[in-house]
Amino acid sequence: MRWSRKDLVGIRELSAEEITFVLDTAAAFKQVGTRDVKKVPALRGKTLVNFFVEPSTRTRTSFELAAKRLSADVINISATTSSLTKGETLKDTAKILEANHADIIVLRHSSAGAPQFLAERLRASVINAGDGAHEHPTQALLDLYTIRERRGSIAGLHVAIVGDILFSRVARSNIFALLKLGARVTLVGPSTLVPRVFERLGVTVSHCIDEVLPTVDVVHLLRVQHERQRKEYFPGIGEYIRLFGLTKARAKLLKADCLIMHPGPINRGVEIDSDLADGVQSVILAQVTNGLAVRMAVLYLCGGIASR
Note the residues at the interface with another protein (CB under 8 A): 12, 89-91, 109, 111-114, 116-117, 131-135, 167, 169, 172, 195, 197-198, 200-201
Residue 230 known to be catalytic: no
CB of 153 to another protein, least distance (A): 26
For residue 14, how many other CB atoms are within 10 A of its CB? Answer: 21
Residue 59 known to be catalytic: yes
Q: Which residue, 30 or 180, is less far from another protein as judged by CB? A: 180
Q: Which residue, 130 or 245, is less far from another protein as judged by CB? A: 130
CB of 89 to another protein, least distance (A): 6
Residue 169 known to be catalytic: no
CA 98, CA 93: separation in Å to the nearest integer?
A: 9
Q: What's the Rg (C-alpha) of the chain?
A: 19
The active-site residue out of 20, 25, 59, 186 is: 59
- Residue 125's DSSP bridge partners are 104
Q: Which residue, 33 or 132, is less far from another protein as judged by CB? A: 132
CB of 49 to another protein, least distance (A): 18
Q: Which residue, 37 or 197, is less far from another protein as judged by CB? A: 197
Residue 180 known to be catalytic: no
Residue 46 known to be catalytic: no
CB of 10 to another protein, least distance (A): 9
- Residue 87's DSSP bridge partners are none
CB of 116 to another protein, least distance (A): 6
End-to-end CA distance of the chain: 18
Q: Which residue, 148 or 172, is less far from another protein as judged by CB? A: 172
The active-site residue out of 6, 60, 108, 134 is: 108
Residues acting as catalytic residues: 58-59, 86, 108, 136
